Amino acid sequence: MDIEGIRLFVMAADMLNISAAGRQLDLAPAVSSARLSKLEKQLGADLLHRSTRKVSLSLEGAEFLPFAREILAQEEAAKAALGHSNAEVTGTLRFAASSTFAQRYVVPLLPEFLERYPGINLDLKLSDTQMNLIDGGYDLALRNYAIEDSSLRARKLAHDQRILCASPRYLAKHNTPVTPDDLSEHQLLSFGGGKPRKLMPVPPNSHERPTGEFPPRGVRNRVQCDDGNSMKIATEAGAGIAMHSVWSVYEEIREGSLVRVLPDYEVDDHSAIWLVYPKSNVLTAKVRVFIDFLLEKIGDPPVWER
């Protein structure tokens, strides 16, 4: 199959203009039209409807388009694996991430990344509400939980330790819990409507202390929030006890505006910060360089542990 014909078809489908797509590939209009006709003959289907006024995708063309993109991505990945890729990586990278994490760790790095890779544009979807990676058409996403979806591939960016914390003002007013059972007497803040997380005592003498959950079953949270940064602000202001990732609160813990609660317990949820992409996607050059960049700047050991 004619790879250059497929490349021309994808560009023409995006631009809805065969001549303009051909110019991008340094082809004369007559050559562009002939190359597309040859591809259609090979496939036995009309991919584009042409008229004197406009170009539009046919039904067969719309069905073939995602496969055509995949063929080009496979070619790019194969060249990159053999060290034959172009020096300049190009394209638009669609990246989804937690807004709380991205604002603190990813967004400040963007000027350096854009300068290093001037041919890459970024389309960012930043929200603490998790989105479906495949349905959303994203190239890459950052997730901070245990990966269970079998349709995804993942590269670990860092361990995600979670702790309970509260403000000194709140603890002075409501007392400090000593065991997980004491949590039922406190005001609790919870992210979204997430399931309870198991609290396990850490050695030594861990067998002498009871396990627990946060939030305890049957206890109603005083506050539920779907934005991690807002929940941290509420915790600092004295609204109650909340679970936060260490990467989000390590500076506040160090400065004393937040205090760790139940420090002899750990959250047993095996969560980590992952860079994930659909199994069906080829790891294209633009995705690969962005993953490598984030691992270099944020990864093991993560910046909050350095």
List alpha helices for the chain, DSSP H. Answer: 3-15, 18-24, 29-43, 59-81, 99-101, 110-116, 168-174, 228-237, 246-255, 285-298
Contact 200, 211 (CB under 8 A): yes
Q: What gap in Å lies between CA 64 and CA 57, rounded to an integer?
A: 10
Q: Is residue 201 part of a domain?
A: yes
Whether residue 30 is contained in a domain is answered as: yes
260 and 278 housed in the same domain: no
Alpha helix segments (H runs only) across 106-181 = 110-116, 168-174
Q: What are the phi and psi torsion angles at 124 (to 5°)?
A: -100, 135
pLDDT in tens, 152-169: 788 899 988 899 999 999
**pLDDT tens digits along 229-240:** 999 999 999 999
Could you tell me the two tokens for 52? 């004197």
Domain extent at residue 181: 162-267
Predicted local distance difference test score (pLDDT) of residue 54: 83
What confidence tens digit (pLDDT) does each residue in 26-35 have? 889 899 999 9
178 lies in the same domain as 255 = yes
**pLDDT tens track for 203-215:** 876 777 889 999 9
| Structural contact between residues 175 and 159, judged by C-beta atoms closer than 8 angstroms | no
Let me know whether 20 and 99 are in one domain: no
What pLDDT is stored for residue 87 in this prediction?
Answer: 53
> Distance between CA atoms of 72 and 7, rounded to whole angstroms?
7
Element (H, E) at 272: strand 272-278
Q: Dump pLDDT digits (tens) for 120-147.
A: 999 999 988 776 665 567 889 998 876 6
Grade residue 51 by pLDDT with cuts at 50, 70 and 90.
confident
Count of structural domains, the chain: 3
Task: Say yes or no to pLDDT of 221 above 90.
Answer: no
- Indicate which CATH number applies to the domain containing 218: 3.40.190.290
CA angle 137, 142, 146 (to 5 degrees): 110
86 within a domain of the structure (yes/no): no
184 shares its domain with 263: yes
User: Do both 176 and 253 map to the same domain?
Assistant: yes
Tell me the pLDDT of the chain averaged across its residues.
Answer: 87
Measure the CA angle with vertex 272, ends 116 and 301; round to 5°: 55
Q: Is the pLDDT of residue 188 over 80?
A: yes
Q: Residue 147 has what pLDDT?
A: 64
Asked if 209 and 252 sit in the same domain, the reply is yes
pTM of the model: 0.69
**Percent share of the chain, pLDDT over 70:** 91
Tell me what the mean pLDDT of segment 78-104 comes to.
78
pLDDT at 253: 95
Chain centre distance of CA 218: 33
Q: Is 55 left (phi over 0), alpha (psi -120 to 50) or beta?
A: beta
Average pLDDT on 261-284 reads: 83
CATH number at residue 31: 1.10.10.10
Most confident of 59-68, 89-98, 252-261: 252-261
Tokens of 273: 């910060």
| Token digits of residue 209 | 């202390």
Is the domain of 294 the same as that of 261? no
CB-based contacts of 28, cutoff 8 Å, min separation 6: 22
Judge if 156 and 278 occupy the same domain: yes
CB contact at 8 A, 212 and 265? yes
- Claim to verify: residue 250 and residue 168 sit in the same structural domain: yes
Please tell me whether residues 46 and 100 are part of one structural domain: no
Provide the pLDDT for residue 83: 54
